[in-house]
Amino acid sequence: MLSSESPYDRTILLESDTIEYYIADVGGAWGIFREGMQIATRRDAAEAISFANFFADRETLMTPQDVRVIADACLKRTLTAMRYAA
């Protein structure tokens, strides 16, 4: 499930028990971030989501922490446009 909530908009970053993968527009491509550090770039939105979900799913098997994938508002608009085009 994707959320438009951005962990980078918070004024005070508190340590959390949740590991976050964040997908954001980085100028013509989609950056995938894990805990604020960019780990990959994908040109296709679906590939970016797939990449982030794969690593998030894999991480749920290795750690007791909650893991979630969130996205910026630009990706949500792109997905909406893709749904209307289909």
- pLDDT tens for residues 53-72? 999 999 999 988 899 999 99
The one-letter code for the residue type at 13 is: L
- Identify the band that residue 7 occupies on the pLDDT scale cut at 50, 70 and 90: low
Would 1 be classed as within a structural domain?
no
Would 2 be classed as within a structural domain?
no
Whether 38 contacts 31, CB under 8 Å: yes
Q: How many domains does the chain have?
A: 1
- Burial readout 37-46 (b: 16 or more C-beta within 10 A, e: otherwise): eeebebeebe
Task: Identify the pLDDT of residue 85.
Answer: 86
Maximum C-alpha span of the chain: 40
* Tens digits of residue pLDDT in 33-57: 999 999 999 999 999 999 999 999 9
pLDDT exceeds 50 at position 27 = yes
What does residue 67 show for φ and ψ, rounded to 5 degrees?
-130, 135
What domain range is 45 assigned to? Answer: 7-85
Would 58 be classed as within a structural domain?
yes
Percentage of the chain with pLDDT > 70? 81
Listed in sequence order, the DSSP H helices in the chain are 45-62, 73-85
